[in-house]
Amino acid sequence: MSSNAVGPVIVVEHLTKEYMLGARARGYTTLREAAVMAVSAPIRRVQRLARGESDVGTRPFRALDDVSFTIESGSVVGIVGRNGAGKSTLLRTLSRITEPTAGSIAIRGRVASLLEVGTGFHPELTGRENIYLNGSLLGMRRSEITRKFDEIVAFSEVEAFLDTPVKRYSSGMYVRLAFAVAAHLEPEILIVDEVLAVGDAAFQQKCLGKMQDVGRGGRTVLFVSHNMSAVSRLCSRGLLLRHGRLDFDGSTLEAVTRYLAEEQRPDALRWETAGLRRRLDEYGELARLTVVEVRPASGAMTGFRFGEDLRLSVTFLATSNIHHAAIGVGIDDLFGARIVTFNSDEAGVTLTAGREQVYTVNLCIPRPVLNPGRYAVSCAVLSGARILDFLPQAGFFDVQPIRADTGEHFEPSAGAGPVRLACSWEIQPVGSSMIPASVP
């Protein structure tokens, strides 16, 4: 299929994916293990029934429920929704990794997927060998892969490790090479999940730029992210999933607005963070964030007044002895764009944390310059340049259009942005004879 083809490249009709909760996934078994299971299964069944338990012990769960949509060639589509909404299941089904329970999927063209670190790579092969392997799986001829080889290596920035088995790569190196391969081998459809969050900020920007180039080149991109700024910038269409169903299909702005209205409700100004699923796997072993709280001086649960001191507290558990422990706090806008970051070590505030000890660190931002609106708090536990735990958007708070000094309500300017800086104005007359003397 040519990348210049027009018409739908993905047609999804009544797609349903059902899992059985409580069912244990089994790996491959030896003949001996199979024999043991065959003998022991009746015994286990009798034991369950004797305890009054269900013979099956499972119940169905619909990760996708009757989802239908069509995507035209050259579309750049953002897929948004809360954790558990079905986004990753949808991408895995479109990528033919998971079979649907019901419904149909029709895809025209080669698909390259980047869904999780290591997908599509053989750990024992080198980076060089995996480039050719992935290209072959996409149906590329060896000459086509060779023509793109230098571009892939340059983009991935892993040239020094090209002949090293990828099982020795860090997660960041894995992602850089995997994305470079997926984006440069010219698939008609590029599917990218939140995996880009593993890379550093500079590489994320590089990837977003490449996806824009892919879209402008007439190819199709499906992009899942919790970074609403990236979705808004990159995508021309948005799909909002809620509880496995397609809740909205239309403009990116409307999809993002609906998602934010659902996801980012400041129901409380104190968040228990120990069990949040947004924590990445590599964080939380040496220290673990447990509570994030914002504290309006008025005690109101609706948030802060405009110009009121912004007070936050962060509590963490040290699961090991930590020297020079510090706290980082970031304030983001609703689209995930960082407005400002505060690190306690930059102010000389650090501590030596003892194993199994709990600490609360307080931060006061006097008279912040945040315009009325809703904001997110991201938190981290640091030790020098090392991040021990990190939670993006651990909680949300509002700045109300009420002046802290007078209590007066005011109407904020539309589209004014999140920050209002103090300033002064001066008019410098040029050719004073042409300007009335009454002008200051």
What residue ranges do the domains of the chain occupy? 8-16+61-263, 270-403
What is the rounded CA–CA span in Å between residue 268 and residue 361?
Answer: 19
- Answer whether CATH 3.50.50.60 is correct for domain 8-16+61-263: no
Q: How would residue 28 be classed by pLDDT, with cut points 50, 70 and 90? A: very low
For 309, the token pair is 């001191």
Q: Is the pLDDT of residue 20 over 90?
A: no
Class of domain 270-403: mainly beta
Average pLDDT over residues 319-328: 91
Highest mean pLDDT among 102-116, 194-208, 253-267, 354-368: 354-368
Query: What pLDDT score does 6 carry?
Result: 67
Q: How would residue 180 be classed by pLDDT, with cut points 50, 70 and 90? A: confident
Q: How would residue 278 be classed by pLDDT, with cut points 50, 70 and 90? A: low
Query: What pLDDT score does 2 carry?
Result: 42
Name the residue with higher pLDDT: 410 or 34. Answer: 410
What's phi and psi for 402, nearest 5 deg? -130, 125
The residue type of 33 is: E
Does this chain's domain 8-16+61-263 share its CATH topology with 270-403?
no
What is the rounded CA–CA span in Å between residue 86 and residue 245?
Answer: 8
Half-sphere CA count of 179, side-chain side, radius 13 A: 33
The DSSP annotation for 228-294 comes to HHHHHHH-SEEEEEETTEEEEEE-HHHHHHHHHHHH---S-SEEE-TT-TTS-TTSSSSEEEEEEEE
pLDDT tens figures, 39-53: 555 666 556 555 555
- Residue (of 90, 82, 69) closest to 243 by Cα position: 82
In angstroms, what CA-CA distances link 268 with 141, 275, 294?
56, 16, 9
Tell me what percent of the residues of the chain surpass a pLDDT of 70.
80
Query: Is 204 within 8 Å of 226 (Cβ atoms)?
Result: no
What's this model's pTM, rounded to 2 decimal places? 0.61
What's phi and psi for 371, nearest 5 deg? -70, 160
